[in-house]
Each structure stands twice: as structure tokens, then as C-alpha cells.
Chains A and B, each alone.
Chain A
């Protein structure tokens, strides 16, 4: 899945090893859901939803109302919906999001780098 074959790039031994490490890291991403859940911590500072801001300061700033729905991401918060899901489901979607996101990022970066760098072989 994480191979560079699509863009016809040769990958050396060390690079293959790093790809395997990255894939392994992808499999560990549910830690990013489980640890905060275990310690019962909230959102990142400054990344609250409009509703949470209302709870914090008593009102929703007008600009926040205006802009907060300006974009509908296909996989919001590395999940499939904003509905309440069990932690197991959330971890699963998070892992899948991690694999999709890392793969897309890898391929997009390869393509962009190829466009930028045309010297040598």
C-alpha cells in the first residue's frame, strides 16, 4: 500500500525499512484516542467546537458561527461522523484514517517532489 511503485521510484533498503516503521506507527495511532480518553482530557487548546466555546465563555463569537462550518471534511476528526461512537469504533476509524491520510500524504508529496525536482535520475 505504501509502495512508491505508482510513481516509478526506486526505493533502497533503508527506505524500505523506514516505510515499514511508518506503517507500524500507523497501526499505533489509536494511542492518540485511547490515552486522552484514559486521562479524560478535552480538546487541544484553541480547537474547541462552537458549543464548547459557549460552555467556556458563555457565548459563541460571531465569527466562529460564521466560519466554523465553512468546510465539510469527508472524514471529520479522523472519523466517519460526529455522532457519538464507542471508543473501540473511534479507535478503529482513527487507525483507518491514519493509514489513508499517511498514504495520501506520501503519494502527494512524491508527486509534488517529482514536479519540483527534475534534475538527475
Chain B
């Protein structure tokens, strides 16, 4: 899901840089208010976790590869604004040091995976968990939150790819940037994440939420922010 350099037109990547910068500005204020200093090590670990989990490329036999992102679980544990900062740090280091994701596409990639995805995940989690505080319900919500947020972020990425031929083509009909249009890019991005990578994101979200529920339930941002957990 890391868009490389040359796939997005300036008409796409410049506005997305702007949106990302605005999100970071708000995130800095929110994190300052919401996160206590003693939880700083957790934020470092969250960013490192996101970095590592994105390295686990998984194959769809006969197709392409892809990976989970970790944004969903970070958003539930530490809040969507903290996730904005943590996942952005991981993505920017991937782009700068490892060439994974373009420099011009940093705004787009961070917007997709570090802004859109954690917020989608966070609100999905609250939507699916809070009518009940049963643990089974919480685990279900965690899975759905990871699964759907990654699929939706993939669709968003597919849209960004897919609008390129509409925005910028030369007079002979050849695309200047991503050559595939919406009809191809969106299903391609959606299907592989629906089939495999979304499930992986859902499972790691579930497993880690379960781990924190057992070890440090008071830490979980989504619960502190509203609702309660039942300790059975």
C-alpha cells in the first residue's frame, strides 16, 4: 500500500501533503493533552511495531503481496491521534531509509495508513463494541476494526491510483502517472485486502487487544474515553 514516486500526479500528492500536515498539527496538540509522559515508551514501541509488521509481506498465491499496517490496534490502545504520529514516523523512515513508499507520496501514504486508517479503525471499534461490554464482543469489534479499516484504506489507495489516468494523460492517451484507472485499481486493491491482508490486520488487532486486556486494561484508550470493560 506504499505508493512509490511517480505514480501520483502533483495535483494529487501536493493536496495530500497539505491534509497530512494539518492532521499532524492537530495530532501534536491532541497527543500533548491525551498521553501521559509515563506512556511515552509505549508510543515508541507502537511505532516500531508498525514498522516491523509492515515488513511481513504475505503472498496471495498467483497474485501479489501485501501486508498489515498495525494502525488499528495502535488507535484503539493509544488513541487515533497518537496513532497518527506513531505510524507516520514508521512510514517516513521506511520512505527515507528503505525507499518503501515515495518521497513525493509521503503525504498520501501517511494520509492513507496513518490518518484515515486509525480514525476509521477507532470509530469502527467503538461502534461495534460499546453496545455491549462482553469480552467476546470486544474481541469481535477489534477484529472487525482491523479488518475493515485496512480494507477501506486499501480502497482509498486504489482510488488515488485510479484517478491518475483521468487527471494526467498525454494527448496519445498514455497515462503520465499510474496507468490503471478506477475500474482496475480499486478492485485490485480491495480484493487482496479483503481476502488476506485485512484478515491478518484483524487478527493482530484482536490478539494484541486481548493481551492488553489481560495485562494492563487501564491503559486502553478506547475504554478510558468511554464505556467500561467487564472483568469476568
Residues of A at under 8 Å CB distance from B?
2, 4, 9-11, 14-15, 18-19, 22, 25-26, 28-29, 31-33, 35-36, 38-47, 50, 53, 56-57, 59, 61-78, 94, 97-98, 100-110, 112-114, 116-121
Contact = CB atoms under 8 A, between A and B. Distances in A.
Nearest to B13: A67
19 contacts: A14-B216, A18-B45, A32-B55, A32-B57, A44-B2, A46-B185, A61-B177, A73-B96, A73-B99, A78-B100, A101-B93, A102-B52, A105-B89, A109-B48, A110-B44, A113-B35, A114-B40, A117-B40, A120-B36
B40 A110 contact: yes
A41 B37 contact: no
A64 B63 contact: no
Contact of B97 (A15, A43, A75, A109): A75
A41 B64 contact: yes
A109 B39 CA distance: 12
A43 B94 CA distance: 16
Given A29-B52, A105-B51, A108-B89, 7 more contacts: A2-B48, A22-B48, A25-B53, A46-B4, A65-B6, A106-B48, A109-B89
B98 A67 contact: no
A61 B65 contact: no
Contacts of B65: 36, 41-44
Given A71-B5, A75-B97, A15 B104 contact: no
Interface in B176-229: 176-180, 185, 188-189, 192, 215-216
A94 B175 CA distance: 33
A78 B28 CA distance: 30
B3 interface: yes
A112 B179 CA distance: 38
Nearest to B2: A47
- Could you say which of B37, B38, B44, B86 has the most chain A C-beta atoms within 10 Å of its C-beta? B44
B215 A14 contact: yes
A71 to B, nearest CB: 4
B199 to A, nearest CB: 15
